[in-house]
Structure 1
């Protein structure tokens, strides 16, 4: 069903407008998303950098505090004391607590949770703002832990664990050397209240569900807003992923939400500070832009389609009127179109149509008269040409009179019998049969036995020409002898074999075989020889001429025919049965030639037709 022009115009306008609006909306959305993402990432990077700088500043402050402790002579001598001397241990404990630890507690009353020195000799000094009993803990495990994680060169190590598991602290630890030797004699540890540091980190505004967290070099959580978040980070393995990549930006699923993770690694502390922001919060401004764009786009599309509908109708309405006028013109009603005057191209088109109708109506009558005169003249010329062809045909008939040739051959045969010449008689009789069979010029079908008899007469003449007998092996089932085929198709193929396949002479081992078989609905007649065969070039040229599906002209080249007999046999079969039938050739060079005639099995088709007619 054809679509009207108005619908096409409306559809084209709809596609153009929708494509334009969609393109603008998509690019606006993408550009806005990219700009907002860039601003958010820049903001998050700035937040992390600032938080990292403040954290490093706090840690550097307490590193200086540890330096002041290590410079105290009492601390070094405590590490060199005899661990069995309880009095010295008591004295050093009081001196270090009063002269060293208490001064620091006064300076940083809220930041420091605990300070302690763990000696390699097994003695330890603890001090805390609140009451703390050193007898309640075994410092051995803590000493081994800090010994493994602190550098040998006396640099600090920052850990997220404390002496007791109940407190959330950040520990600054470093190895201490003795007074009398350079060897490491113990470890100094300052535990900072995580709450004091988290007050600084919690000031970062990361939205409703965004949060800030810190990881140590092994990927363990040093700080997280709450225990649930800490457990989620540990369960998903994000900590190890972030700690291994350092400064990174990637997306991860946390608490069932797609989340942006941005991390920065501190060169001072070795910690990795990261911020997690859900994508839905990041893209909230973009969603507003998208909604606004869709609303404005739909409103614009509706207005544009209304204008397109009005514009299309203003074009299509006069065209429909013009179309109706043309239909009347086709019927022979030469009528002009009456419409309001228009100054545009459509008005000019209607004016031209009316002018054309008025002129054509005048010219039609003239054309009718002229055409009648022309037809009469053509008929007279055709009659003259037909008479001329008849005269030429009669002249050809007079030149060759079949009855005259028949009578002449019979006369020669009588003379041969009188002269007792069986060879001449046999040749003339065979020639007469062949001529009588060949003189038919139509393509009517004959039986296979008629074609084989024609080949037999040809072989009788050929025997006297070559001076020796040459028998053809015919392998045809008796049931196929009455199969229908085209007249004069076998003898030209056999003649072609004598001209080309055995052109160098006949030997006792040469043979020609005619085989007949039925395959499906087709009758196959196969003529084979063991002659010289064809070269690849000659075979390709012959097949190319067969594919043309037309009769060949009787051309000659260097005294030899160019396979016209095979080409014409092929085309005559196609003219009777159709282009799907015909002749095919296989001829390996030096191995003989195999020619297959493919025709419909007329006997089987006739039986099938009879059965169908009976059943119906």
Structure 2
């Protein structure tokens, strides 16, 4: 379908289309863009806030462990430490003296004021240990010093978590290196209470339900607010999205809850700090504000749509009602009126009032025209009655002279009974013709008159064949008008035969009763008429105009014109007396003859 040729016909559809294109669609489009953009900005702000918190936590850990490394660095080259590294197990007194000094001058100084430090231990390559953990010295045999020793070029190592008296302990090992041989002479082990560090980390960027935890490079949980999770394997989403990355953020769904995950890797500890915060906690208030704003906007739009749409609907309904009233008035229902509410003086009520005035004026005009037409038809009918009575009073001279000539010939030459029969038939014909012309009677009486007419014509034309193919009983129930068939039969002799210089040899009257009335066919074998004249006559018979100016033959010979006028007069008499669809119709007319159909009403039950 070509859209350029499509036209919107109703105002209602136009209003809906304008509202949809210029208001509803832009509102939906910009509302969707605003919704998506506001959601994106809210999530970006939440991620930025979480990233700031995790960076603070990571900075704290980096600073703390860096500070711890700086504090212990001077003790690597401390004279007491160097002396301690050289003691053998056999030097008992010297061992006791140096360890006591290290205990008092180094270990106590390092752990003083640091409640997160659980213990500080120094181990020589000879297996001699000095530590503040005097009560747990027997546990040193369970530690794998080889695993605790830093590898490669690193001087410090963060080891796996172990538990001491129900407390998670992180052991940081630092090696003592010989400045000459660069070999390891011993280790310094710093045991930290993770619950103290965890409590401090949790305060940074803390939320109602969110928390921060730490994973090491091997995929184990190092630090977690839930102590039971320390030492467990990291979640699957950590291995999928975080393990090989340095920092970033993502949204995951864990146990049916969407969480915002922000992480950052620490090069110093090779740990990854992970912050988990439920997305609803970060964006709940902002989303609520956004949703409230959206609901208010939708409510305002719906209220506006209600009032604007109601007004537009009222307007279009009024116009549609006026359209229906105009259609009814156009179909002839001039009694319709538009309801005009009292007290309202807007444009629609003025339009309704104008419509009512227009219909009233049209009704008056139609009544005047109808009355004028009735008067004109009455005058025309009276004129035709006068013309018909004049025609009845003047018997066709041509027919009368020929008949008298035949009578005279028989009387002179033969002196036989046909003279008597013709005289009797002629008398009967005259008596029927001079009776009142528009008197209604049955087709039976009219057919008896035509039979008398044919008896006279048979005396004129010896070889004339007349066939009457109908039921005489049916004719008693068919209504007709006096002298409606004789002009039709006369036309057969004058225009079908004599005009074409043919001998009248055959005339048939065939009748049949149908559900629509009685159909009488007048059939001849004469020369017929031209097809154009037949079409014009049939158009004249079907026309509702009561005029003979559109009949064929006006510019032809007078004889042919009066033949057509005769057919027209019979048709008009039947139509004026019985109405539609009764009258005359020419079925066919060729060189082999003509079929004229006369449609008459049937009396049913005496009606």
TM-score (norm 1): 0.51
| Distance 1:140-1:19 versus aligned 2 partners, 3 A rule | same
Greater Cα shift, 94-103 or 84-93: 84-93
| Distance 1:50-1:337 versus aligned 2 partners, 3 A rule | closer
- Paired with 1:248 and 1:217, the residues of 2 have a C-alpha distance of 17
Aligned to 1:136: 139
Question: What is the CA distance between 1:52 and its match in structure 2?
Answer: 1.4
Aligned to 2:530: none
| Distance 1:233-1:62 versus aligned 2 partners, 3 A rule | same
Whether 1:31 and 2:37 are equivalent positions in the alignment is yes
- Paired with 1:163 and 1:41, the residues of 2 have a C-alpha distance of 35
Aligned to 1:524: none
Render the CA deviation track for 1:71-99: whole Å, top value 9, x for unaligned: 11332343344345444443432232223
- Paired with 1:275 and 1:8, the residues of 2 have a C-alpha distance of 56
Aligned to 1:225: 225
- Paired with 1:162 and 1:75, the residues of 2 have a C-alpha distance of 27
Whether 1:325 and 2:333 are equivalent positions in the alignment is no
| Distance 1:198-1:364 versus aligned 2 partners, 3 A rule | farther
| Distance 1:380-1:262 versus aligned 2 partners, 3 A rule | farther
Aligned to 2:118: 113
Question: What is the CA distance between 1:23 and its match in structure 2?
Answer: 5.0
- Paired with 2:208 and 2:309, the residues of 1 have a C-alpha distance of 48
- Paired with 1:103 and 1:240, the residues of 2 have a C-alpha distance of 45
Pairing of 1:323-362 with structure 2 (within 5 A): 323-331=324-332, 333=334, 344=347, 351=354
- Paired with 1:167 and 1:345, the residues of 2 have a C-alpha distance of 89
2:214·2:271 contact (CA, 8 Å) conserved in 1? yes
Whether 1:146 and 2:140 are equivalent positions in the alignment is no
1:170·1:193 contact (CA, 8 Å) conserved in 2? yes
Question: What is the CA distance between 1:70 and its match in structure 2?
Answer: 0.5
* 1:262 counterpart SS class: strand
Question: What is the CA distance between 1:210 and its match in structure 2?
Answer: 0.4
| Distance 1:5-1:233 versus aligned 2 partners, 3 A rule | farther
Aligned to 2:394: none
Render the CA deviation track for 1:428-464: whole Å, top value 9, x for unaligned: xxxxxxxxxxxxxxxxxxxxxxxxxxxxxxxxxxxxx
Question: What is the CA distance between 1:253 and its match in structure 2?
Answer: 3.2
2:172·2:190 contact (CA, 8 Å) conserved in 1? yes
Pairing of 1:495-574 with structure 2 (within 5 A): none
Aligned to 1:269: 269
2:264·2:272 contact (CA, 8 Å) conserved in 1? yes
Structure 1 unpaired stretches of 5+:
395-616
Whether 1:52 and 2:55 are equivalent positions in the alignment is no
CA RMSD of aligned residues (A): 4.7
Question: What is the CA distance between 1:357 and its match in structure 2?
Answer: 9.7
Pairing of 1:358-373 with structure 2 (within 5 A): none
- Paired with 1:227 and 1:140, the residues of 2 have a C-alpha distance of 22
- Paired with 1:232 and 1:162, the residues of 2 have a C-alpha distance of 12
- Paired with 1:208 and 1:93, the residues of 2 have a C-alpha distance of 48
Greater Cα shift, 47-56 or 166-175: 166-175
2:214·2:272 contact (CA, 8 Å) conserved in 1? yes
1:14·1:305 contact (CA, 8 Å) conserved in 2? no
2:222·2:231 contact (CA, 8 Å) conserved in 1? no
2:158·2:173 contact (CA, 8 Å) conserved in 1? yes
Question: What is the CA distance between 1:182 and its match in structure 2?
Answer: 2.4
Question: What is the CA distance between 1:232 and its match in structure 2?
Answer: 7.8
Aligned to 1:259: 259
- Paired with 1:240 and 1:317, the residues of 2 have a C-alpha distance of 67
- Paired with 1:227 and 1:379, the residues of 2 have a C-alpha distance of 118
Question: What is the CA distance between 1:287 and its match in structure 2?
Answer: 2.9
Pairing of 1:453-464 with structure 2 (within 5 A): none
Question: What is the CA distance between 1:225 and its match in structure 2?
Answer: 0.9
Render the CA deviation track for 1:343-370: whole Å, top value 9, x for unaligned: 7489569858976996897899999x99
- Paired with 1:214 and 1:254, the residues of 2 have a C-alpha distance of 18
2:15·2:312 contact (CA, 8 Å) conserved in 1? no
Render the CA deviation track for 1:321-378: whole Å, top value 9, x for unaligned: 34123213213648786858977489569858976996897899999x9976799788
| Distance 1:102-1:389 versus aligned 2 partners, 3 A rule | same
2:338·2:355 contact (CA, 8 Å) conserved in 1? no
- Paired with 1:223 and 1:258, the residues of 2 have a C-alpha distance of 22
| Distance 1:25-1:230 versus aligned 2 partners, 3 A rule | farther
2:47·2:249 contact (CA, 8 Å) conserved in 1? no
| Distance 1:123-1:210 versus aligned 2 partners, 3 A rule | same
**Bigger-Rg structure (1/2):** 2
- Paired with 1:207 and 1:358, the residues of 2 have a C-alpha distance of 84
Aligned to 1:284: 284
2:214·2:224 contact (CA, 8 Å) conserved in 1? yes
2:220·2:232 contact (CA, 8 Å) conserved in 1? no
| Distance 1:300-1:20 versus aligned 2 partners, 3 A rule | same
Aligned to 1:436: none
* 2:280 counterpart SS class: helix
* 1:75 counterpart SS class: helix
| Distance 1:76-1:163 versus aligned 2 partners, 3 A rule | farther
Render the CA deviation track for 1:279-322: whole Å, top value 9, x for unaligned: 22123120343145325523651453144224421442253034
- Paired with 2:49 and 2:17, the residues of 1 have a C-alpha distance of 46
| Distance 1:78-1:230 versus aligned 2 partners, 3 A rule | closer
Render the CA deviation track for 1:171-203: whole Å, top value 9, x for unaligned: 332221236632122222222232442343122
1:212·1:275 contact (CA, 8 Å) conserved in 2? yes
Aligned to 2:158: 158
TM-score (norm 2): 0.52
